[in-house]
Chain A
Amino acid sequence: MSRLLEINHCRKSFDGSEVLTDLSLCVESSQVLSIIGPSGSGKSTLLRCATLLETMDGGDLIYDGTYAARDMGGRAVYAPPAQLQKVRGMFGLVFQNFNLFPHYTVLKNIMEAPMLVQKRSRKEVEAEARALLDQMGLADKADAYPFQLSGGQQQRVSIARALAMNPKILFFDEPTSALDPELTGEILRVIRALAERKMTMVIVTHEMAFARDVSDWVVFMNGGVIIEQGPPAEVIDHPGQERTIQFLRRMREQ
């Protein structure tokens, strides 16, 4: 197993208040890692730092041996733009609100980045995009515009868009939180199918049953630090920390 993502001693503050405190995390190849925790615990910020949407104040960020940021005397020093661009090619991100491009058809949403950024041929990209849509059960929606789709369909398109870049690791930022409860199932099924095909994934989620079912590593965060982590059988079924127990009890009561 190779180490696809390594975050060491990550620190991040907003306006003087620390959101992430000396946080370290590793993701191995083919691993499905879920990050759980109450809102405001820093899960989303961690994901945004990992995907270069936020800059860390301090710490290392390493993708498959390539440094995106290196800690130098407590400050995170980021790699030059060309190297960051290379790193961006290694991961994909699925947003809570999908963030599809509304003026593009479904097919163009998926095809443009591989053609524009990776300079791959239209023919090859289109074949792959259509295969992905087929996998997502959306083969007939290629020429539709995002506004014509349900939330669940839009989220599946955004997963296809991320996968079309052939990322080594795929991040999900609460992928079902913007969906009606009856639509969450279809997204969770897609993620489960990806897990079966050994896709490396990091999932920020509030779906405890799903996290226990699909992940092989669970990280519980609170107050900007990792309180405990381990296989779901430990962290979710037999948590050792008082705060984890409280959090899981509250989730069950909802």
Chain B
Amino acid sequence: MTLATIVLKMGDGFGKTCAIFFLTLLFSLPLGMLVAMLRMSKNRVVATVTRLVISVLRGTPLMLQLLAVTYGPYYLFGLTVARNKLIPVVIAFAINYAAYFAEIYRGGIESMPVGQYEAAQVLGYTKTQTFLRIILPQVIKRILPSITNEVVTLVKDTSMAFTVSYQEMFTIGKQIANSQTSFVPFVVAGVFYYVFNLLVDFGMGRVEKRLNYYR
């Protein structure tokens, strides 16, 4: 098998890699905010339960969570395994990444000086107005480097979908590597991820620059 064939075959799975990547971000970024809110809830029970859930999600392998979400319904309830594995894969990724994003959001929100809240309160801003207009924009600027970190990790983590045989790029590469007894597909995969992450870095760098108009 020539290099060109390998690249083309693996390229077929690239769309699915991108699907995992973008759908995970689409769901986990907002879900993370919700989880952060629950984590900071004044209700002790809600905050504690959320803290435990985050702890489990961060403390166990994503690979295990992928298996659990994909095959759990079968072993637990005898349901058939989803035909389109993208659904359980994205669910597992979104939940896992939401846990990490939640902690980043929380750190950012808690780092805001109390004076910002007080200034807004005295001026008559409602709590929602204060959060959306005063706090959140500043939090986003503060946490952007940490978010970039997670996004870069996510690019590489998409390869974990091979554990449930979802036909994304790395899964295909692994199959070729096995059948051809070749290491080349792994090198190709490495280049794919690296280029993808160069683009991520470039994009996030531009966003960071745009937010650099104030300090």
CB pair A101–B124 under 8 Å, yes or no, is no
| Cα of A97 to Cα of B119 in the assembled complex, Å | 10
CB pair B122–A88 under 8 Å, yes or no, is yes
**B-contacting 9-mer, from A29-37, A65-73, A109-117:** A109-117
CB of B215 closer than 8 Å to a CB of A: yes
| Cα of A210 to Cα of B125 in the assembled complex, Å | 33
CB pair A165–B123 under 8 Å, yes or no, is yes
CB pair B141–A116 under 8 Å, yes or no, is no
Which residues from chain B contact A53 at a C-beta distance below 8 Å?
A: 118, 121-122
* A198 CB, min distance to chain B CBs, angstroms: 22
Most buried by A among B118, B122, B124, B137: B122
CB of B67 closer than 8 Å to a CB of A: no
Complex partner residue of A116 from B116, B129, B213, CB under 8 angstroms = B129
* B154 CB, min distance to chain A CBs, angstroms: 27
Most buried by A among B113, B124, B141: B124
CB of B18 closer than 8 Å to a CB of A: no
Query: Chain B: which residue is nearest A146 at the CB level?
Result: B214
| Cα of A146 to Cα of B119 in the assembled complex, Å | 15
Complex partner residue of B125 from A117, A147, A161, CB under 8 angstroms = A117
A to B contact number (C-beta, < 8 Å): 56
Given contacts A101-B116, A112-B133, contact A145 B123 (CB under 8 A): no
CB of A99 closer than 8 Å to a CB of B: yes
Interface SS, B side: helix
| Cα of A88 to Cα of B133 in the assembled complex, Å | 19
Which residues from chain B contact A89 at a C-beta distance below 8 Å?
A: 124
CB of B134 closer than 8 Å to a CB of A: yes
CB pair A99–B124 under 8 Å, yes or no, is no
Most buried by B among A99, A112, A165: A99
Which residues from chain A contact B116 at a C-beta distance below 8 Å?
A: 99, 101
CB pair B134–A99 under 8 Å, yes or no, is no
CB of B197 closer than 8 Å to a CB of A: no
CB pair B119–A101 under 8 Å, yes or no, is yes
CB pair B125–A92 under 8 Å, yes or no, is no
* A107 CB, min distance to chain B CBs, angstroms: 14
CB of A85 closer than 8 Å to a CB of B: yes
Complex partner residue of A103 from B113, B124, B125, B141, CB under 8 angstroms = B141
Which 10 A-B pairs give the minimum distances between C-beta atoms? A99-B119, A117-B124, A99-B115, A113-B123, A147-B215, A93-B122, A145-B214, A88-B124, A103-B214, A102-B214
8 contacts between A and B (CB under 8 A): A53-B121, A100-B119, A102-B138, A112-B133, A113-B124, A113-B125, A145-B215, A146-B214
* B positions within 8 Å CB-CB of A: 113, 115-116, 118-125, 129, 133-134, 137-138, 141, 213-215
